Structure 1
Amino acid sequence: MIDLTAKQQQLSKIVHDYACRFPLTENGDAQLLQGCYDYMDAFKRVMNNASKVQMDYICQQYPGYYRFAKWMERLAQGIADGVFEVPKDH
């Protein structure tokens, strides 16, 4: 069942609207990443409280959310692979 809560929809739209502010270019991606920290909590709250079916639906309905998710995935992979250095105090 897809039934998203009002909070899931609201948070998904917040992340979507943020990501959609930037063009689908390398420069736009850089701009998105520069301010993404402020939207990570909303992103995480949706992910932690949604089923796989709900996440698939959210990503279809909110392409900006999907774009944000793909960048978070790339960042996480880069950190895991040692491509990005993370300060020890984090």
Structure 2
Amino acid sequence: MINLTAEQHQLAKIVHDYACRFPLTEHGDALLLQGCYDYMNAFKLVMDSTSKVQMDYICLQYPGYLRFAKWMERLAQGIADGVIEVPKEH
């Protein structure tokens, strides 16, 4: 079922609005990535609280959320592949 809570909608819209501030260009993507940390918690809360069907619906309703999700996936893959180095905590 697609019933989303008001909080899920609100958080998805926050991420969507953030991602939509930047043009769909290489420069826009760079700007999105520079400030993405501040939106990762909202993104994760939505990811952790929705089913696959709900997530598919969110990505249709909020294309900025989908854009953000794709970048998070690319970052995670880059880290997993060792292309992106993550500093060790001190």
| Shorter-chain TM-score tier | over 0.9
Over the matched positions of the two proteins, sequence identity in percent amounts to: 83
Match of 1:53 in 2: 53
Q: CA deviation at 1:67?
A: 0.0
| Aligned counterpart, 1:66 | 66
- Give, in angstroms, the shift of residue 38 of structure 1: 0.1
The one-letter amino acid paired with 1:28 is G
Partner of 2:78: 78
Taking the aligned partners of 1:30 and 1:18, their CA distance within structure 2 comes to: 13
Aligned equivalents of 1:48, 1:3: Cα separation in 2: 15
Alpha carbon RMSD of aligned pairs, Å?
0.9
| Structure 2: segments with no counterpart, 5+ residues | none
Q: How many Å apart are 1:26 and its aligned residue?
A: 0.1
Give the aligned residue type for 2:63. P
Does residue 42 of structure 2 align to residue 42 of structure 1? yes
Q: Structure 1 CA distance, aligned partners of 2:71 and 2:48?
A: 17
Query: Using the alignment, how far apart are the partners of 1:12 and 1:67 within structure 2?
Result: 12
Using the TM superposition, give the Cα deviation of residue 57 of structure 1 relative to its aligned residue in structure 2, in angstroms.
0.1
The residue type equivalent to 2:33 in the other structure is: L
Structure 1 unaligned blocks of 5 or more: none
Task: Please state whether the residue corresponding to 2:69 is helix, strand or coil.
Answer: helix
Q: Which amino acid aligns with 1:40?
A: M
Aligned length: 90
> What are the equivalent positions in structure 2 for 1:9-24 lying under 5 Å apart?
9-24=9-24
Q: Distance in 1 between matches of 2:33 and 2:47?
A: 19
SS, match of residue 36 in structure 1: helix
With the length of structure 1 as denominator, give the TM-score of the two structures: 0.99
